[in-house]
A = this chain, B = another copy of it.
Amino acid sequence: MAHTYQRTIHFADTDAAGVVYFANYLSFCHEAYEETLEAAGIDLKTFFSDNGIVIPVAKSTADYLRPLVCGDKIAITVKPSAVSPDAYTIDYEITRLAGKTAPKKLAAVVQTRHVCIRSDNRARTALPPALAAWVKAQ
Protein backbone atom coordinates (compact mmCIF):
# COMPACT_ATOMS: atom_id res chain seq x y z
CA MET A 1 0.00 0.00 0.00
CA ALA A 2 1.43 3.33 -1.03
CA HIS A 3 1.83 6.13 1.54
CA THR A 4 0.26 9.50 0.64
CA TYR A 5 1.75 12.90 1.55
CA GLN A 6 -0.13 16.18 1.22
CA ARG A 7 1.22 19.72 0.99
CA THR A 8 0.41 23.17 -0.33
CA ILE A 9 2.41 24.93 -3.07
CA HIS A 10 4.33 27.85 -1.57
CA PHE A 11 5.32 31.11 -3.25
CA ALA A 12 9.00 30.13 -2.89
CA ASP A 13 8.34 27.05 -5.04
CA THR A 14 7.32 29.14 -8.05
CA ASP A 15 9.35 30.94 -10.72
CA ALA A 16 8.84 33.92 -13.01
CA ALA A 17 6.67 31.85 -15.37
CA GLY A 18 4.13 31.88 -12.52
CA VAL A 19 4.28 28.14 -11.84
CA VAL A 20 6.38 25.66 -9.84
CA TYR A 21 10.03 25.50 -11.01
CA PHE A 22 10.59 22.06 -12.53
CA ALA A 23 13.34 20.89 -10.18
CA ASN A 24 11.10 21.56 -7.17
CA TYR A 25 8.81 18.68 -8.14
CA LEU A 26 11.72 16.42 -7.18
CA SER A 27 12.05 18.14 -3.81
CA PHE A 28 8.33 17.60 -3.15
CA CYS A 29 8.86 13.88 -3.80
CA HIS A 30 11.79 13.79 -1.41
CA GLU A 31 9.61 15.42 1.28
CA ALA A 32 7.05 12.66 0.74
CA TYR A 33 9.83 10.06 1.02
CA GLU A 34 10.98 11.61 4.30
CA GLU A 35 7.47 11.60 5.77
CA THR A 36 7.02 7.95 4.79
CA LEU A 37 10.30 6.96 6.44
CA GLU A 38 9.38 8.87 9.58
CA ALA A 39 5.96 7.20 9.71
CA ALA A 40 7.87 3.89 9.72
CA GLY A 41 9.83 4.95 12.80
CA ILE A 42 13.10 5.81 11.02
CA ASP A 43 14.91 8.84 12.55
CA LEU A 44 15.43 11.39 9.79
CA LYS A 45 18.25 13.31 11.40
CA THR A 46 20.41 10.19 11.56
CA PHE A 47 19.18 8.71 8.30
CA PHE A 48 20.14 11.66 6.14
CA SER A 49 23.48 12.53 7.73
CA ASP A 50 26.70 10.76 6.89
CA ASN A 51 27.26 8.04 9.51
CA GLY A 52 29.36 5.57 7.58
CA ILE A 53 26.59 4.53 5.24
CA VAL A 54 24.82 6.90 2.84
CA ILE A 55 21.98 6.17 0.42
CA PRO A 56 22.16 8.86 -2.26
CA VAL A 57 19.78 9.28 -5.16
CA ALA A 58 21.62 7.69 -8.11
CA LYS A 59 19.05 8.44 -10.79
CA SER A 60 15.82 10.36 -11.27
CA THR A 61 13.26 10.59 -14.05
CA ALA A 62 10.33 12.98 -14.07
CA ASP A 63 7.40 13.62 -16.39
CA TYR A 64 5.97 17.08 -15.72
CA LEU A 65 2.37 16.84 -16.87
CA ARG A 66 0.71 19.97 -15.50
CA PRO A 67 1.75 23.30 -14.03
CA LEU A 68 1.17 24.00 -10.32
CA VAL A 69 0.55 27.46 -8.85
CA CYS A 70 0.90 29.04 -5.41
CA GLY A 71 -1.88 27.81 -3.15
CA ASP A 72 -2.51 24.55 -5.04
CA LYS A 73 -2.92 21.48 -2.80
CA ILE A 74 -1.09 18.35 -3.93
CA ALA A 75 -1.02 14.72 -2.83
CA ILE A 76 1.99 12.50 -3.50
CA THR A 77 1.96 8.70 -3.40
CA VAL A 78 5.23 6.95 -2.50
CA LYS A 79 5.83 3.38 -3.66
CA PRO A 80 9.28 1.82 -3.10
CA SER A 81 10.44 -1.39 -4.81
CA ALA A 82 13.51 -3.48 -4.03
CA VAL A 83 16.01 -3.75 -6.90
CA SER A 84 18.80 -5.67 -5.17
CA PRO A 85 20.13 -6.02 -1.59
CA ASP A 86 21.80 -2.59 -1.95
CA ALA A 87 19.35 -0.63 -4.11
CA TYR A 88 15.69 0.35 -4.48
CA THR A 89 13.53 2.57 -6.62
CA ILE A 90 10.64 4.78 -5.51
CA ASP A 91 7.70 5.63 -7.75
CA TYR A 92 5.80 8.83 -7.03
CA GLU A 93 2.62 10.29 -8.47
CA ILE A 94 1.93 13.96 -7.78
CA THR A 95 -1.76 14.81 -8.02
CA ARG A 96 -3.17 18.32 -7.88
CA LEU A 97 -6.24 18.10 -5.67
CA ALA A 98 -9.53 19.66 -6.75
CA GLY A 99 -9.74 23.41 -6.03
CA LYS A 100 -12.46 26.04 -6.34
CA THR A 101 -12.20 26.19 -10.10
CA ALA A 102 -9.95 23.29 -11.08
CA PRO A 103 -10.64 19.56 -11.07
CA LYS A 104 -8.30 16.91 -9.64
CA LYS A 105 -5.52 16.07 -12.12
CA LEU A 106 -2.30 14.06 -12.25
CA ALA A 107 0.50 16.67 -12.29
CA ALA A 108 3.69 14.61 -12.48
CA VAL A 109 5.12 11.09 -12.43
CA VAL A 110 8.56 10.72 -10.86
CA GLN A 111 10.94 7.84 -10.15
CA THR A 112 14.10 7.93 -8.05
CA ARG A 113 16.70 5.18 -7.66
CA HIS A 114 18.66 4.90 -4.41
CA VAL A 115 21.91 3.01 -3.84
CA CYS A 116 23.39 2.16 -0.45
CA ILE A 117 27.14 2.80 -0.23
CA ARG A 118 29.89 3.15 2.37
CA SER A 119 30.84 6.79 2.65
CA ASP A 120 34.56 6.07 3.10
CA ASN A 121 35.19 4.17 -0.14
CA ARG A 122 31.79 4.49 -1.90
CA ALA A 123 31.53 0.69 -2.24
CA ARG A 124 28.03 -0.74 -2.41
CA THR A 125 26.79 -2.32 0.79
CA ALA A 126 23.52 -3.97 1.88
CA LEU A 127 20.64 -1.76 3.06
CA PRO A 128 20.34 -1.45 6.86
CA PRO A 129 17.68 -3.96 8.06
CA ALA A 130 15.14 -1.27 9.10
CA LEU A 131 15.30 0.26 5.63
CA ALA A 132 15.13 -3.09 3.84
CA ALA A 133 12.00 -3.84 5.89
CA TRP A 134 10.50 -0.48 4.95
CA VAL A 135 11.10 -1.11 1.23
CA LYS A 136 9.38 -4.48 1.50
CA ALA A 137 6.46 -3.28 3.64
CA GLN A 138 5.16 -0.48 1.44
Residues of chain B within 8 A (CB-CB) of A27 are: 10, 12, 21, 23
Bound CA–CA A120/B25 (angstroms): 23
Task: Encode A29-68 as 1/0 by CB contact (under 8 A) with B.
Answer: 0110011001000011100111000101111111110010
Residues of chain B within 8 A (CB-CB) of A60 are: 22-23, 60-62, 64
Cross-chain contact of A15 among B23, B48, B62 (Cβ < 8 A): B48
Question: Judging by beta carbons under 8 Å apart, are B17 and A48 in contact?
Answer: yes
Q: With A22-B60, A44-B70, A48-B70 in contact, do A30 and B16 touch (Cβ < 8 Å)?
A: no
Residues of chain B within 8 A (CB-CB) of A48 are: 11, 14-17, 70
